[in-house]
Structure 1
């Protein structure tokens, strides 16, 4: 299990992460979502002991990462697929890691095969790898110690559609066998397809968390009109919070209240329906609409 309790990271007066708490249980995939600069990467780095928190604590299997006796056997980490020795071959990268963790070197070939890197690719130097190949190598490294926990930051970057489907199956199988997965990704449709739980962060703070179905059920109402300006004004007068999305306006209210506000203002609607059918993308836009976009501070 991953337990994050009131994690905070400040750089001077700037709060990169502010009082973040959540848990990731065995047998589940937790999608960790937020816009660029929301604090996702900083939070994951604190969980993995790479960035010291200003306050709060994160534990894996009851211990901070740095206190794990052999962390690679407890948790597999992929935070940056490019952070690999470019002069080594893929096989050498895993062989060195196997020696460090005290793992039988025969596992190297097994893990390379598991992630779809054939022997000819394993003999090439990492500097000649495509981003997709580096992602596969990073996953092989994360899986090498047969850990119970995976922490992955944008692992699908550079993968083709077939590779993304393959990764979805790999992570779902890992969780179904009792593993714990914390997954950060901008590919919202893929997160929606695989995640059991969601943690959404904006401007360094958790803005929503819970079961995926529970959160999606409470998205709100999607509404459209030929005169969007008049519709927005009608909703404002009724005190209904609305966010512009691709398909119209997303309102945090029941459809009946939205329709009543439009009727009172004489605004003809072209669409009025629960937004839950629009999926994770609309939920994400709604929850993070007020969060400013900025680059992560590390």
Structure 2
């Protein structure tokens, strides 16, 4: 289990992460989502003991990461696939990690095979690896100690569609066997396919969290009209606020019936009216982060 409680990180007057709290339970994949600069990587670095928090705490099975005697046997981490010795072969890099963690080096070939790096790739220098191969090697590092928890920051970056599909299956199987996964990714459709729970962060703060199906069901309503300004005025007059907009449509945190009634009362003809959740995770993401994104641009 991963527990984050009131985690805050300030750099001078700027709060990169502001009072963030969430839990990742065994047997689940938690998708950690947010725009660039929202605080995802900083939060993950604090969980892994790489960045000290200004306040709050993060624990793994009730223990701070830095207090774990051999963290690689409890938690597998992939935060930066490029942070590997470029002069070593893939097998050498993983063998060094095995000896550091006290893992039998005989497990190295099987772990490399598990992530799709066969004997030929294992003999190549890391400097000759593609980004996707480095990601696979980083995942091998994370899995080598047979941990029960994985923390992965953009692990599919650089993978081709086949590799993304493979990673989805690997993470789903890991969680189905009782493991805990915290996954950050900008590939929203892949997160939607594998995640059980979602934590959405914007401007350093949690803007939504909960079960994936629950959040998608409560995303609000997408509405369009030929006269967008008249629609905005009608919604405002009815006390309904627009929380975001995309592709010419307006996203409203209200039931479709209330939105449609507001438009009808104002005589505004609609061209589309539907639950925003039917647009999937991408639509939910835009709905939840639209305000934070605009504030960042304005700043």
**TM bucket normalised to smaller:** over 0.9
Shift, 1:127, TM fit: 0.9
Q: 2 CA distance for matches of 1:44 and 1:30?
A: 13
1:153 aligned partner:
153
1:173 aligned partner:
173
Shift, 1:286, TM fit: 1.0
- Where do residues 1-298 of structure 1 align in structure 2 (5 Å cutoff)? 1-242=1-242, 243-246=244-247, 248-292=249-293
Q: 1 CA distance for matches of 2:44 and 2:253?
A: 30
Q: 1 CA distance for matches of 2:120 and 2:290?
A: 47
In structure 1, the residue corresponding to 2:109 is in which secondary structure? helix
Q: How many residues align?
A: 295
Superposed CA offset, 1:137-186 (max 9, x none): 00001000000000000000000111000000000000000000000001
Q: 1 CA distance for matches of 2:100 and 2:273?
A: 59
Superposed CA offset, 1:224-274 (max 9, x none): 112222222222222212221126111111111111111122111111111
Q: 1 CA distance for matches of 2:215 and 2:274?
A: 17
CA RMSD of the aligned region, Å? 1.2
Superposed CA offset, 1:166-219 (max 9, x none): 000000000000000000001111111110111111111111111111111101
Superposed CA offset, 1:101-151 (max 9, x none): 011111100110000011111111111111100000000010000000000
**1:98/1:245 Cα in 2 relative to 1: closer, same or farther (>3 Å)?**
same
Segment of structure 1 superposing worse, 241-250 or 186-195: 241-250
TM-score scaled by structure 2? 0.96
Segment of structure 1 superposing worse, 95-104 or 221-230: 221-230
Q: Which runs of 5+ in 2 are unaligned?
A: none
In structure 2, the residue corresponding to 1:81 is in which secondary structure? coil
Structure with the bigger RCO (C-alpha within 8 Å, sep 6+) is 1
Segment of structure 1 superposing worse, 193-202 or 286-295: 286-295
Q: Which runs of 5+ in 1 are unaligned?
A: none
In structure 2, the residue corresponding to 1:206 is in which secondary structure? strand
Q: 2 CA distance for matches of 1:97 and 1:120?
A: 20
Q: 2 CA distance for matches of 1:236 and 1:87?
A: 61
Segment of structure 1 superposing worse, 133-142 or 244-253: 244-253
In structure 1, the residue corresponding to 2:291 is in which secondary structure? coil
